[in-house]
Structure 1
Amino acid sequence: MAFIDHHDVVVGSTDDGHTFIVLNRPIRTAHHALTASGFAAREHNGRTMYLLPSGTSTEEAHDRTGDALHHLLAHTMDFVDLSWTTRYTATGPVSEAAVRFDLSDGRVTATVHTPAARDVIAQHGFAPTPQGYVLAAQLSERETVGAVARAEAHLWSLGIPSEITLGIPTPKAIPAAPGHTSATAPARPSPVPRQSRRPR
């Protein structure tokens, strides 16, 4: 599964703390806008991806990513934000996540810590199992991304923080672009979407 293949713009986080943006179609002036916002371009596995350094603070990552998305949204509304490294509000970093979505093993699961959060994710198609909550396997990748994005946005609207794990340990492990293969990058499942940027 390659969840990062289904939107024009995908924002995500690697396990080692890099914020990345992947463009799945050419967008005019995107390169200038992203590099001006502090992202470094890197070619890898048939993709051009844009990275912030792993040591970038949450506040700075939030601001730089927000500036980049503000520009890109003038060219496309087909984007998804799956990052955990950009979670910041006017009052500071968000509190401990009440829901952890995990897309790292080919299916989408959620670990839930509060009753209110359980109610929300049930509304978005997550079913309880002895190990936690799982999203229906028959959904397409794009439908899966949409379900996670909607659940995350719903939780955020209620002030319930969540986190999405993509199972990408480092930027080198970001899956190859469609039609490309790589001997060095494992075929791991990719990100999940977040439909709207965090309020500042």
Structure 2
Amino acid sequence: MSFLYVPDVFIGSTDDAHTFVVINRRIPDADRMLAEAGFQAREHHGRTLYVLPPATAQSSHERAGAIMYGLLAHTHDLIDFSWTTLWSPDRPVSNPDLHFRFSDNTVSVTAKSATARSILEQHHFIPMADGASYRPPDKLSKRGLISAVTLTDGHAHAHGLDVRISLGIPTLADIPAAPHGQSSDIAAPPATPRPRRTR
């Protein structure tokens, strides 16, 4: 099962700069909240996907923030791994200190400073031979992997570091299908760490 379908709500970005939202259990008024924020409902592999076309980082940030806080009234099992919504009035994120890359149900990460490397090691990421790349601890479940990235991301932001998370999804067409038979009426899974939103 793709990590997109683990939390109640997943916010992500494609490589071609679309912001998308996946809703994995029924949430009252989610359709309305997403529509009011400018997200367009699209059928995708038999599921509804909510899409924000490429826009300025500030606009995407504000729109994603509006729906995030609306959805948090219904669930805290919400993950925001979008890079298109990264925006700060103080500095743009163009050369992140930490860059996570999801691929084939795992993740790798590169660090550009001693502080970034220290944070990764505090969260048990394992250094690779090149000295700048890391991999997650062994035998993590998909939820465990998401939690490891979320906690490390939050820790990095607390130290003023910039972080980018790339999901390895080139276009909307490349978003994987949900497992057979899964619908938006599934039971809520256990809560995960609160999403990042320190922008």
> TM-score scaled to structure 2, two decimals?
0.89
> Structure 1 segments of 4 or more deviating over 6 A?
none
Structure 2 CA distance for aligned equivalents of residues 49 and 194 of structure 1? 22
- The answer as to 2:109 corresponding to 1:110 is yes
* Structure 1 contact 104–165 (Cα < 8 Å) conserved: no
**Distance in 1 (alpha carbons) for counterparts of 2:40 and 2:119:** 37
The 1-side partners of 2:48 and 2:59 are apart by 22
Q: Secondary structure at the match of 2:103?
A: coil
1:155 aligned residue: 156
- Corresponding letter in the other structure for 1:172: A
C-alpha separation between the residues in 2 aligned to 1:40 and 1:159? Answer: 33
The answer as to whether partners of 2:153 and 2:196 remain within 8 angstroms in 1 is no
CA distance in 2, matches of 1:159, 1:139: 27
Q: Is 1:36 equivalent to 2:36 in the alignment?
A: yes
Identity %: 43
Amino acid at match of 2:5: D
Output the amino acid matched with 1:35.
A
Q: How has the CA–CA distance of structure 1 residues 19 and 163 changed in structure 2, closer, same or farther, with 3 Å as cutoff?
A: same
Aligned counterpart, 1:146: 147
Q: Give CA-to-partner distance per residue, 1:21-75, whole Å, 9 cap, x none.
A: 1100111100000010000011101321111112x10000000000011111111
Secondary structure at the counterpart of residue 118 of structure 1:
helix
How far apart, in 1, do the equivalents of 2:10 and 2:82 lie? Answer: 9
CA contact (8 A) 2:98 2:116 kept: yes
The equivalent residue for 1:184 is none
Q: Which residues of structure 1 form unaligned runs of 5+?
A: 182-192
Aligned Cα RMSD in Å?
Answer: 1.7
What's the secondary structure of 2:106's corresponding residue?
Answer: coil
Q: How far apart are residue 105 of structure 1 and its match?
A: 3.3
Query: Number of residue pairs matched?
Result: 187
**Residue matched to 1:187:** none
**Matched-pair contact (CA < 8 Å) for 2:103–2:167:** yes
Structure-2 residue corresponding to 1:167: 168
Q: Counterpart of 1:148 in structure 2: which amino acid?
A: V
Q: Which runs of 5+ in 2 are unaligned?
A: 183-192
CA distance in 2, matches of 1:198, 1:174: 26
Matched, 1:51 2:51: yes
Q: Tell me by how many angstroms 1:179 deviates.
A: 1.1
What are the superposed Cα offsets for residues 71-102 of structure 1, whole Å, 9 maximum, x if unpaired? 11111111001010001123242352011111
Mapped partners of 2:88, 2:172: distance in 1: 26
CA 1:106 to 1:6, structure 2 compared with 1: closer, same or farther past 3 Å? closer
**Cα-to-partner distance string for 1:142-198 (whole Å, 9 max, x where unaligned):** 0000000110111011110011111101111111012169xxxxxxxxxxx982223
SS in 2 for 1:71: helix
What is the CA distance between 1:5 and its match in structure 2? 1.2
Amino acid at match of 1:29: D
- Cα distance change on mapping 1:180 and 1:93 into 2, 3 Å: farther
